[in-house]
Amino acid sequence: MNPIQEVILIVQRELRKNFRSVKGIVLLILSLLGGGAFAVINAILTRLKTREMGDVPEEQFRMIREQGLTKFYDGDADMGKFLSDSPDILWTVSLITIWLTPLLVAVLGYDGVSGEVQHRTVRFWTVRSRRTSYFMGKFFGLWLTVSGVTLVMHLLVWVISTFGGVASAGTVFGWGLRYWMVSIPIAGAWSAIAVLIASQFRTPMVSLLSICIVFFVLFCLKLTGVWFESVPLTCVYPGTLDNFLLNPQMKRFAIGLAIAAGFIVTGAGAGSAIFAKRDV
C-alpha cells in the first residue's frame, strides 16, 4: 500500500470521527447559529438601508466601502477597489472566519495525536501504517474538518444573503466561494502548526495549552510587526495572509500562497519527521 492510500484511509476516518464527535457537532452547530444569525441580521439591515436610504446612489455606498477597505488594508487601493464590489456581509464573514480559524483548529486538533498517544491507541495504527502517513492523515483530517465547518457556515450565509436580497445569487456565490477559498490555505497553515505542537505531547490538555501559547506568541509577533511596520514579521501570523490571498495582483496572491505553503510544509514535514522517530 502506498503512503497516499494510507493517508486517504486515515483522513476518511478522521473526518468521520471529527464530525461525529460531540466537540465537532457542537462547533458545527455554533458556527451555523453564529453564521445564520449574522446573515439574518445583515439581511434585515440591508432591507432597512434600501428602504430608508433608497435615494442615495449605490455608487456612493461603493465609494465609502472602497475608502474603508483601502484604509483597512494599510492603504492598498487595489484591494479596496477590488473588494468594494463584494457584498459587505461576505467580507465580514470572511474576516470572522479568518479570526476564528485558529480557535477552531486548536479546539478540534489539540487531542488528535496526543489523545491517541496518551492512551496508546496510536499503537493500533503504527503497526499498519507508516508513522508519517498517520501524522499526515491527522493533519489533512484536521484541515478538511476546519474547512468543512467554515464551508457550512459560509453556505448558510450565502443562502440567507441570496434570499434576503443582499445581492444576486451569482454575486453572492461567486464572492462567497472566493472568500471561503482564501480561508483554506490559512486553515492549512494553522492546522500544520497545531498538529506539529500537539504531537509533541502525550497529554491533550498540555497540547491545548501549548497550542494556545504558540498562537498567542504569533499574534504578539504580528502586533510587533504592525507596530514596527515590518511586513515579514506580520506574516508569522497566518491570519494576516488574507492581505495577500485576497489581493487582485497575482504576485501578491502568489506570495500569500507561498507563505501558507511554507507553513504547511514546514509544520507538517517537521511534525511527521519528529513523530516518525519518537517512541509511541
130: left (phi over 0), alpha (psi -120 to 50) or beta: beta
The 138-177 site mask, x for binding other proteins (CB under 8 A), equals ----------------------------------------
Residue for cell digits 480559524?
101
Task: Name the grid cell of 11.
Answer: 483522513
Residue 273 contacts other proteins per CB under 8 A: no
Instruction: Quote the least distance from Cβ 126 to other proteins, whole Å.
Output: 6
Q: Which of 20, 47, 62, 71 binds other proteins (CB under 8 A)?
A: 20
Q: Which is nearer to other proteins, 25 or 205 (CB)?
A: 25
Tally Cβ neighbours within 10 Å of residue 103. Answer: 14
The 79-118 site mask, x for binding other proteins (CB under 8 A), equals -------------------------------------x--
Residue 26 contacts other proteins per CB under 8 A: no
Task: Name the grid cell of 162.
Answer: 441570496
Report the C-alpha gap between 90 and 172 in whole angstroms: 8
Residue for cell digits 440567507?
160
Q: Which is nearer to other proteins, 65 or 130 (CB)?
A: 130
Tally Cβ neighbours within 10 Å of residue 117. Answer: 24
Piece in contact with other proteins (CB under 8 A), picked from 8-16, 34-42, 141-149, 203-211: 8-16
Piece in contact with other proteins (CB under 8 A), picked from 5-13, 42-50, 184-192, 225-233: 5-13
The single-letter code of the amino acid at 267 is G
Helices (H) and strands (E) in the chain, counts: 13, 0
Instruction: Quote the least distance from Cβ 17 to other proteins, whole Å.
Output: 6
Cβ neighbours of residue 79 closer than 8 Å, sequence gap 6 or more? 69, 70, 73, 243, 246, 247, 248
Number of residues that bind other proteins (CB under 8 A): 26
Instruction: Quote the least distance from Cβ 204 to other proteins, whole Å.
Output: 13
The answer to whether 149 touches 19, Cβ cutoff 8 Å, is: no
The 112-131 site mask, x for binding other proteins (CB under 8 A), equals ----x--xxx-xxxxxxxxx
How far is the CA of 40 from the CAs of 80, 161, 207, 278, in angstroms? 25, 8, 37, 50
Tally Cβ neighbours within 10 Å of residue 271. Answer: 25
Residue 275 contacts other proteins per CB under 8 A: no
Element (H, E) at 110: none
Q: Which is nearer to other proteins, 47 or 128 (CB)?
A: 128
Site for other proteins, rule CB under 8 A: 1-2, 6, 9-10, 13, 16-17, 20-21, 116, 119-121, 123-131, 277, 279-280
